Amino acid sequence: MRKYLIAGNWKMNGTIEETKALIDGLLTGSYDTDKAEMVICPPYTALTTAGKMLNNSKIALGSQDMSVHKNGAYTAEISSEMLLTVGVSFVILGHSERRQYHAESDQQVNAKAKVAIDADLTPIICVGETLEERESGNTEAVIGKQIDGTLFEFSAELLNKSVIAYEPVWAIGTGKTATPEMAQDVHQFIRNRIAGIDKEAAEKIQILYGGSVKPDNAKSLLSQPDIDGALVGGAALKADDFLKIINSL
Ligand code: PGA
């Protein structure tokens, strides 16, 4: 039985004061930790504060990206080791906004994911098609290529230490959500694709859905057999909404 993972991607939101208030709200809420794990991914500047507040709590800390390099002359980059020192244990990689605005490729995501796992960080590897790709009937071709590229040379051991997030680009921040059936179809496709690498690992790997997940649509999405959690943007910025999402399970 796969455990659910509910991840909050705060994106470029969260001053230190806002971070404190939001985490205070989350820490006072309750949810079934046997069923689901919660992880929040604040911006870099808030990670130290968040790490201190979440120390010894049930909520895990994640980063929104990470450098592929270990250290050195890479202006503005943050390494896996730096993330570890502030209590980070997850890292989102290949988010569509990184792909779109920073030209991140599957190959780069693949290299970062290997570095993350090597450092004991769990990568949340994002894939997703654009509206144009969906409307032209290319969803599976696009997702298949992204899965093959981001998981290039992955063994069962690496798959067991990874999480996948399916986020249709057209559903991110738009209020448009894939129907539970549409999402389930792609999740099943992804799991089958991963089964081509290793059947057992494909059964174990958590595949999250992302794209306008809200308290009122979370239950129907999360009740699909191949949807093992959510990557939540906008609704992760309100403690009440985020707690409602995890409590819809
Ligand atoms: P959204 O963002 O929930 O605001 O659509 C999801 C994401 O980009 O991870």
The predicted-structure confidence for 84-115, as pLDDT tens digits, reads as follows 999 999 999 999 999 999 999 999 999 999 99
pLDDT-based confidence at 138, cuts 50/70/90?
very high
- How much distance in Å is there from the Cα of 173 to the middle of ligand 1? 5
- Mean pLDDT of the residues in the chain: 97
Q: What is the mean pLDDT of residues 4-26?
A: 98
* pLDDT tens, position by position, 143-169: 999 999 999 999 999 999 999 999 999
What's the per-residue H, E or C state across 6-72?
Answer: EEEECCCCCCHHHHHHHHHHHHHCCCCCCCEEEEEECCHHHHHHHHHHHCCCCCEEEECCCCCCCCC
pLDDT-based confidence at 176, cuts 50/70/90?
confident
Q: What is the mean pLDDT of residues 114-125?
A: 98
The total number of structural domains in the chain stands at 1
The pLDDT of residue 175 is above 90: no
Q: Decide if 187 is catalytic.
A: no
Residue 166: predicted pLDDT = 98
Q: Decide if 95 is catalytic.
A: yes
CATH code (residue 241): 3.20.20.70
State the catalytic residue, choosing from 37, 95, 97, 187: 95
Model pTM score: 0.98
Residue 177: predicted pLDDT = 86
- How much distance in Å is there from the Cα of 71 to the middle of ligand 1? 30
Domain housing 122: 4-246
State the catalytic residue, choosing from 129, 133, 167, 187: 167
Q: What is the mean pLDDT of residues 26-39?
A: 97
Sign (positive/negative) of CA torsion 211, 216, 218, 220?
negative
